[in-house]
Structure 1
Amino acid sequence: MTCHRRYRFPHALASVAAVARRWAVVLVGLVFLLFPTDLRAQDSPDGMAIAVAMEQSVIAAIDRAAPAVVAIARVPKEGAVNVVESFQFNVPTPEQAAENPDDPDFIPAHYASGVILSPDGLILTCYHVLDDPELHDYYVYWKGRHAKASAVRSLAKVKAGDPWTDLAILKIDGEDLPTMPLGDASTLRRGSFVVSLGNPYATARDGEPSASWGIVSNLQRTPRPRLPQTRTQTPEAKQSLAEFGLLLQTDAKLNLGSSGGALVNLKGEMVGLTTSLAAVAGFEQPAGYAIPIDEPMRQVIQTLREGRQPAFGFLGIEPADTLEGRGARVARVVPGLPGDQAGLRAGDVIFSVAGVRTDGALELFRELSRWPAESEVEIFVAHHFVGAVQPERIKVTLGKKQLSLSKPAYSEIPEPTWRGMRVDWATALPPSQLLYSRQGSRADLAILRVDPDTPTWRAGLRPGQFLQTINGKVVSKPDAFYEQAEAIDGEVTLEGIGNDGRPFRAIVGQKD
């Protein structure tokens, strides 16, 4: 989202003209490179047919995808006070009228794009587009109509938003809305043709998104950092998956307001959700980025659609770079976690995750962190024994990654608790606590939070303890724990391993 007053019309017009000239040269060059001499003749009807066919392919892709792209306006919630925005954007001036979304001539100060996923009005956009849902309302425009997004009247009505992937879901009231066909970004290569559809400078309020086109410039890119970063930055310090080099880079024109729009292939299928603009002072054409829509992201989007917070994969190892620059070396394996259970040992080298190469610790972190928790993925690893190397493809079920981000996730369905206690995968504990207390424990579940003066607190349960049984029955998954615990009305006996590595037994009384 951004303020539309940053727009400079002459500069933008020059940019459009430059892009048009550039692509005219590219198209002519393609004809001369790809087709025989007799098709290149100036008066050749076949040459014209090829150009028209290509043009029609682009038009057809736009016609298929554009109806499902919407404009989004973000305005301060009635009664909410945001001092900075109130000062900068809500004071009527000759350049900026007072904000009134019901006015047909309303031009929002903050705007972006979105994509319709379902006929009843589920909208996919970027997490950073929404900012704080407690302070803002959102209006969605499509086909000349606008509707207030019911998802943001209160946190309880928000579908979901995830800062790690920069994805969020809004819900508007609708029926029989056009939906976006989803493609597969894993099929893209440098040079693949793509079309961008979005809401530049809030111009798509009439329901007609603007289009630009270009190629995929590169894959697995990292956006230009907003703040200086040191070379020794650790994976734990990164605040989003994009910082690991996730994004598609495109030279398709992405003007301000394109965040949350669709990057589509020539079949009209969305292969990316445009997310950022790497504008550099003094340069006319900034690099555009998009979140790739592939199998891991489809699973994340499905979780958000259900109004739940997504969880991401964790292997339970400490990776390091290799001297050769190929693969990621396993420096340490945490006992009892997925990596240990899969047979990984210190000194092994992991070359790929789910078929994607992992040359270095950061690339390994990225690929593991893209997959939802509990996903089964194939890892190609070389086991290093004394005097021998044994390559092997192994299947591993990922645990849950612990994320300590500066911005909160939110969801319509809250994380479950039982009698004042939050139980989750053991891998969701903070890394320092996990490494310190894990020795000798083979439990899959851990206590993440215990609210004071609740039945579980009074029973002596505390964060960091590992759970093994409930009323004598072994339990190894969070969902199974809650299902079994909720079915018991009276006292419940829990057994496990304490922070000190010793077994414990706790009797939890009835709910207050």
Structure 2
Amino acid sequence: MSKSAVGILSAIAGGLAVFALVQFTSLGGEAHPPVRLNIQDTPIDRETRGLTSFAPIIKRAAPSVVNIYSTRIIRQRWIEVHPLFNDPFFRRFFDIEPRQLRSRPQKAQNLGSGVIVSSNGYILTANHVVEGADEIRVALPSSGREFEAKVVGTDPATDIALLKVDADDLPAITIADSDNLEVGDIVLAIGNPFNVGQTVTMGIVSALGRTSLQINAYENFIQTDAAINPGNSGGALVDAEGRLVGINTAIYSRSGGNQGVGFAVPINLARSVMEGLVEHGEVLRGYLGVTLQMAITPDLVEAFNLPDASGAMVVEVGRGTPAAKAGLQNGDVIREFNGKKVNDRPHLRLLVAQTPPGTKVTLKILRGGEPGKKPVEREITVTLGRMPEEYLSGGLPTAPHEDDSAGEYDALDGVVVSDLDSNARQRFGIPSHVRGALVTSVDPDSNSAEAGLRPGDVILEINRKPVADADEAVRLSENLRGDRVLLRIWRDRSSMYLTVDNRKRR
């Protein structure tokens, strides 16, 4: 590494969920009546044999699944369709008065399904089914009754919406505990695909806890091969006893139709959203205040002497945040959250977001010390804050994805750095609190370039040692030992770790 002479230095069935602030529409401002849920949280009997028909189960569950017809009114001026009539000459020639050019409403209609979860009129559905709707009608196929529905609240971050109809004798579905599901369990999808009428399809739970699909901001999907098609969105996914385990929301498809890869929001997640909408008019999400590494790569496992790649790695602790007050540090790996094992970054984001602000939680972490030594397991207690508005779409800041790719060069040869000055901060958008050495150039044939280091990055740490300026970066880069060098850098408004190969090129 050398110092430069001059310091210059981001197809769903029926639509996509929107990453946005929780929307809320009250029912005339009055208090919402309580939700009367029928909950049965015991696991299914997986030892049952010889089932020849699901008809009795469907007879119990199907009456609770409704068709939803939403209408959005679009006002379009006639002159926008016929721009020639902007000219007064043409209007006079065709004897058209200005009043004839007023807006003419058009209706855009959407089709979906929903599930009655409370006999007094609460219905869960997918947010994208009713998003932006001016009119919503709910039809009960089992009885032929229809109701006008109002939106209690929506949560685009999970693609869940809660509707209310004026009725008190509706057939509410029985709700299961979706945490009891296992891969291989039989599930049934009930909805109104393509508006052909209520339809039931069967499959199994193909996978649980699906994340990083970029469908919703918060993801913990049940994956199933039960056929889900346009019109099924918002409908029920039920277990072999007819109990609600998920709200159907999306498919992966090259054709637009079912290809055996469908996704449902677990009912436990949908319930927590529903309860927040009824009680508060919005979903109140917990906030930790850390930036997390996108993934714990094998190189990071080796660099931090971790036992495996599970957990979520902290790369930056926000100043004044709950995490900072509790003593979390850069490089900590969060392995448990309030007694629940943390699988990865998306899983931790979901666990934090589902926990109410003000809750005191216990984190089990791995914290490393000197390079080459095993990290020490510790417990830290954190009182969660409330999610700031700028993070509501994602829940926690996310470190950019590491370009994980692996001589005559040592790890940081070919890297030129300079001190951070006002010009460099302005050019690269580097805030005043960031301290380190600015990378001004990287030899494209160097090990650092292959690891993903690039001009504009700020080196914050080298092998867990802080870098105050360019001189210190150069000093720390001399006589680096070990197969890999661990860098913590600042890029694109957040921090991340990179591992650079420190071996000779072959």
In structure 2, the residue matched to 1:138 is 136
Taking a change above 3 Å as real, the CA distance of residues 356 and 149 of structure 1, as seen in their structure-2 partners, is: farther
In the alignment, the residues of structure 2 paired with residue 69 and residue 436 of structure 1 have an alpha-carbon distance, to the nearest angstrom, of: 55
Q: 1:55 is matched with which residue?
A: 52
In 1, are the aligned partners of 2:366 and 2:375 still within 8 Å (CA)?
A: yes
Look up the match of 1:68.
64
Say whether residues 1:317 and 2:290 are aligned partners.
Answer: yes
Structure 1 residue 179 displacement after superposition: 1.1
Q: Deviations over 1:343-401 (max 9, x none)?
A: 32222211133455434434433432343433444432123345563323444332222
CA distance in 1, matches of 2:432, 2:144: 57
Letter in 2 for 1:138: I
SS in 2 for 1:299: helix
Answer yes or no: is the 8 Å Cα contact 2:251–2:258 preserved in 1: no
| Deviation at residue 217 of structure 1 after TM alignment | 0.7
Tell me whether 1:171 sits opposite 2:164 in the alignment.
Answer: yes
CA spacing shift, 1:389–1:406, aligned 2, 3 Å:
closer
Match in the other structure for 1:350:
334
| Matched residue, 2:203 | 214
Q: Give the C-alpha shift of residue 68 in structure 1.
A: 1.3
What is the CA deviation profile of residues 276-335 of structure 1, one whole-angstrom value per residue up to 9, with x for unaligned ones? Answer: 1222139862411100122x5422211123461102222111222431233222222224
Structure 2: distance between partners of 1:222 and 1:329: 17
Tell whether 2:129 aligns with 1:129.
Answer: yes
Is the 2:276–2:284 Cα contact (8 Å) retained in structure 1? no
Deviation at 1:215, TM superposition (A): 0.5
Asked if 1:247 corresponds to 2:240, the answer is no
Residue of structure 1 equivalent to 2:492: none
Please, what TM-score do these two structures have when normalized by structure 1? Answer: 0.55
Task: Looking at secondary structure, tell me which structure has more helix per residue.
Answer: 1
- Does structure 2 conserve the Cα–Cα contact (< 8 Å) formed by 1:2 and 1:109? no
The residue correspondences of 1:35-434 to structure 2 (distance < 5 A) are 50-51=49-50, 54-56=51-53, 58-77=54-73, 80-81=74-75, 109-133=109-133, 136-142=134-140, 143-151=142-150, 158-204=151-197, 209-222=198-211, 240-242=217-219, 246-281=220-255, 285-294=259-268, 296-306=269-279, 308-320=281-293, 321-322=295-296, 323-324=300-301, 325-386=309-370, 389-404=375-390
CA distance 1:224–1:359, change in 2 (3 Å): closer
Identify which range, 246-255 or 306-315, moves more after superposition: 306-315
Displacement of 1:248 in angstroms is 1.1
One-letter identity of the residue aligned with 2:243: E
Deviations 1:114-152 (A, max 9, x none): 11122221111111111203xx2111011333434341x
Over 3 Å counting, the alpha-carbon distance change for 1:255 and 1:297 in structure 2 is closer
Distance, in Å, in 2 between the alignment partners of 1:119 and 1:258 is 22
Following the alignment from structure 1 to structure 2, what is the Cα–Cα distance between the partners of residues 309 and 285? Answer: 35
TM-score (norm 2): 0.55
Matches within 5 A, 1:1-12: 2=14
Q: Which has the larger radius of gyration?
A: 2
Output the amino acid matched with 2:217: S
Name the aligned partner's letter for residue 66 of structure 1: A
The answer for unaligned runs of 5 or more in structure 1 is: 4-33, 36-48, 88-98, 102-107, 152-157, 227-238, 408-434, 438-512
Q: Which ranges of structure 2 fall in alignment gaps of 5 or more residues?
A: 1-12, 16-45, 82-104, 302-308, 394-430, 434-506
Structure-1 separation of matches of 2:170 and 2:256: 42
Q: 1:395 to 1:269 in 2, by over 3 A?
A: farther
Query: CA contact under 8 A between 1:248 and 1:291: conserved in structure 2?
Result: yes
For residues 475-499 of structure 1, what are the alpha-carbon distances to aligned partners after superposition, in whole Å with 9 as ceiling and x for unaligned? xxxxxxxxxxxxxxxxxxxxxxxxx
User: In the aligned structure 1, how far is the partner of 2:157 from the partner of 2:359?
Assistant: 17
Amino acid aligned to 2:277: L
Q: Secondary structure of the equivalent of 2:292?
A: strand
Whether the 8 Å CA contact 1:379–1:394 is kept in 2: the answer is yes
CA distance in 2, matches of 1:353, 1:221: 19
Size of the aligned set, in residue pairs, is: 318
Say what the alpha-carbon RMSD is for the aligned residues. Answer: 3.8
Q: What residue is the counterpart of 1:493 in the other structure? A: none
Structure with higher RCO (Cα < 8 A, 6+ apart)? 2
Say which is worse superposed, 330-339 or 389-398, in terms of deviation.
389-398
8 Å Cα contact 1:216/1:251 also seen in 2: yes
Distance in 2 (CA, whole Å) between partners of 1:300 and 1:109 is 26
